Chain A
Amino acid sequence: MTVADEAAQYGLHRVGGRPPLGQYLAEVWQRREFVFSLSKFRLEAEFSANRIGMGWILLRPILNAAIYGLIFGVLLQTRRNVDSFIAFLVVGVMLFEFFQACFTAGAKSITSNQALVQSLSFPRLALPLALVLQKLMQFLPTLSIVLIVAVANGSRPSLTWLLLIPLIALFAVFNTGLTFITARLTVHFRDLTQLLPFLSRMFFYTSGIFFSIEQRFSDHPTALKIVDWQPIHEVLTLGRAIVLDGPQYQIPTEYWAYLSIWAFGLLALGTIFFWSAEERYGRTD
């Protein structure tokens, strides 16, 4: 009798090996309480040592917006031709922060948890997922600043604002897919962590956060066509159109379609890409 027969006779299973995708996702779902607690507790721990604790969640993006406003808006005069520049800038900065946080921290979600990955067995997808969830919880309170600034700017609260919910959902899905991809890539190429801040900055300058791409490139139709497909720009444009009033802020309906394609395409791609290297994450070499 071979060993495999004996194992089968007593109902023993092979250890290790990557489960099929469906089963893998079911295992991730089983671990949802872990994912949720991990993100919540990590967020709590991140701010617990600070005197004003969670206050920094709001204060940090406000300070960021203030600096960008001063440098770009006032000194470099990018506010020209932009209606209600402050509100324009604040919406841009707050939304971008969520992307940036996922992009830079998410790439390290496996490599910075090496000890955890090597000592406990759970579907590794839980780690990038928890990271995005943590950044989402950190991002949601800052939306209140966006709404306050919008009202201060003369926007009247309306039912249209509810469109922020699908927008944030799509944005979160997009970030999740992207994080799955960068988290795995970083395992193969550690050098990526050096490169990501530059990529992130490139997104920062090309998404139209402190200047209006539509105004700047109004006589370059090709550039505008390209930027129509830049996902972060789509998010910012939709976000501004939802909360701000004025002729510059009409909702470009086609952007919903473009962004959905990005978000769900990246999620599907990222999930498969991450899952197919599941056995690789625990190795030390």
Chain B
Amino acid sequence: MDAQTDRRPAVIVDDVHVEYRVLATGKRPTAADTGRNMLQRSRSRTTRTVHALKGVSFTAYENDSIGIIGTNGSGKSTLMRAIVGLTPVSRGTIYASSRPSLLGVGAALIRDLSGERNVVLGGLALGMSQREIEERYDEIVDFSGIRDFIELPMRTYSSGMTARLKFAIATAQTHEILIVDEALAVGDQKFRQRSESRIREIRDNAGTVFLVSHSMRSIRDTCNRVVWIEKGTLMMDGPTEDVVSAYEEAQAK
């Protein structure tokens, strides 16, 4: 802690717990569930509590680029959604210097409309103003590399083209705290390199980047620090090489 006091913290995650209560509806009815019991059953339909995060704490600093790793269902995405404020925490607190944004503009886009329209809509959804979007329009389209198809409806795009457009829109805005969840897995080699350098650029502009990925290569190429989460608890937090090696060792077992 002492070694880092000269750096400004951007995000503090303090003993965060997230619990979901889910209605377990998939259960098969048993012989006892007939007649009158049906009513009782529906009232007591078992709510299962899923403890997705069990007391995670760490501090992210400016110019940090933090890789978040862990096996499927370990709680990585829940943690990221909690940091953005989309998932309310059950216990603990998260502090941030500015509102963190999740690189996930996809849900705002409309497949039946042209790429051009979607650049505008996606930008607005992220909180940019109409003027900012106009100023950056060319930059976004050039970065996505689909200028020839920008007037076509998005439903005609290949999945790689769609992913490139989404990434270009989402990173057009200057983020202080950016969360990238598995966005780099798509696209070809060239695009992957360009997007990784975009992330480094954001980090170098005093930003803080969280990168959730299963690709250890992406993590090694872009992150200076890695947080490893397993079953909702923090396993390890440290320099990229140390944590990734430990993780790979655990996976190989």
List the one stretch of A5-13, A80-88, A95-103, A163-171 in contact with chain B.
A5-13
Contact with A along B101-140 (1 / 0, CB 8 A): 1101111101111000100110011110110000000000
**B88 interface residue (CB < 8 Å to A):** yes
Chain-B contact segment, one of A116-124, A146-154, A173-181, A198-206: A116-124
B window 59-111: CB within 8 A of A: 81-89, 93-97, 99-102, 104-108, 110-111
Name A42's contact: one of B82, B86, B110, B125 (CB within 8 Å).
B110
Q: Which of A1-37 contact B (CB under 8 A)?
A: 3-4, 6-7, 10-17, 31, 33-34, 37
Q: Which stretch from B7-15, B156-164, B191-199 is at the chain A interface?
A: B7-15
Contact B105 A120 (CB under 8 A): yes
Task: With both chains docked as a complex, state the minimum distance between the C-beta of B59 and any C-beta of chain A, in angstroms.
Answer: 8
* Contact call B85/A121, Cβ cutoff below 8 A: yes
- Contact flag A49-B95 (CB < 8 Å), given A120-B105, A122-B127: no
The answer to whether B12 and A119 touch across the interface, beta carbons within 8 angstroms, is no
Indicate if A115 sits at the interface (CB-CB under 8 A).
yes
User: How near does chain B come to A197, taking the closest CB pair, in angstroms?
Assistant: 23
Q: What 0/1 readout, one digit per residue, does chain A (241-285) give for beta carbons within 8 Å of chain B?
A: 000000000000000000000000000000000000001001111
Within 8 A of B (CB), among A100-145: 113, 115-122
B97 touches A120 (CB 8 A): no
Number of B residues whose C-beta is below 8 Å from A? 47
A236 to chain B, nearest CB (A): 34
Tell me whether A41 is interfacial, beta carbon within 8 Å: yes
Looking at B19-27, B34-42, B211-219, the stretch in contact with chain A turns out to be B19-27
Asked whether B107 lies within 8 Å of A120 as measured between CB atoms, the reply is yes
Task: Tell whether, in the assembled complex, residue A7 and residue B12 are in contact, meaning their CB atoms are under 8 Å apart.
Answer: yes
The answer to whether residues A11 and B97 also contact, given A33-B130, A44-B113 and a CB cut-off of 8 A, is yes
Q: A41-B117, A118-B86, A122-B127 are in contact. Are A15 and B107 (CB under 8 A)?
A: no
Q: Which residues of A contact B94 (CB under 8 A)?
A: 14-16
Give the shortest distance, in Å, between A78 (CB) and chain B (any CB): 40
For the complex formed, measure the closest distance between the CB of A13 and the CB atoms of chain B, giving whole angstroms.
Answer: 6
Q: Does B88 contact A10, Cβ atoms closer than 8 Å?
A: no
B124 A34 Cβ-Cβ under 8 A: yes
What's the minimum C-beta distance from B208 to chain A, rounded to whole angstroms?
12
User: Contacts A15-B96, A283-B87 known; A45 to B124 CB distance under 8 Å?
Assistant: no
A12 touches B87 (CB 8 A): no
Which B residues lie within 8 Å of A10 (CB)?
8-9, 97
Chain A interface size, as a band, is: 35 or more
Residues of B within 8 A of A31 (CB): 124, 127
The reply to whether B20 and A285 contact each other, CB–CB distance below 8 Å, is yes
Residues of B within 8 A of A16 (CB): 82, 85, 88-89, 94
Q: Are B88 and A279 in contact (CB under 8 A)?
A: yes
Tell me, rounded to whole Å, the shortest Cβ–Cβ distance linking A77 to chain B: 44
Q: Bound complex: CA of A6 vs CA of B1, how far in Å?
A: 12
A44 to B11, CA, bound (A): 40
- In the complex, whether A38 has a CB less than 8 A from a CB of chain B is yes
Most chain B Cβ neighbours within 10 Å, of A49, A116, A121? A121
Other-chain contact of B101, A44, A115, A121 (Cβ < 8 Å): A121
Pick from A3, A44, A120, A279: contact of B126, CB below 8 A.
Answer: A120
Q: Which residues of A contact B97 (CB under 8 A)?
A: 10-13
Other-chain contact of A15, B95, B105, B127 (Cβ < 8 Å): B95
Residues of A within 8 A of B99 (CB): 15, 121
With A15-B95, A121-B99 known to touch, is A41 a contact of B113 (CB < 8 Å)? yes
B120 & A4 in contact (Cβ 8 Å cutoff): no
Name the residue in B14, B104, B127 with the highest tally of chain A Cβ atoms < 10 Å from its Cβ: B127
List 18 A-B residue pairs with CB atoms under 8 Å apart, sorted by A's residue number: A3-B12, A4-B93, A6-B12, A12-B10, A12-B97, A13-B96, A14-B94, A15-B94, A15-B100, A33-B124, A38-B121, A41-B113, A41-B121, A45-B110, A120-B102, A279-B88, A284-B22, A285-B22
- Known A-B contacts: A12-B10, A14-B95, A118-B86. Give 9 more (CB < 8 A): A12-B11, A13-B96, A34-B124, A41-B113, A119-B104, A119-B105, A120-B101, A279-B88, A284-B20
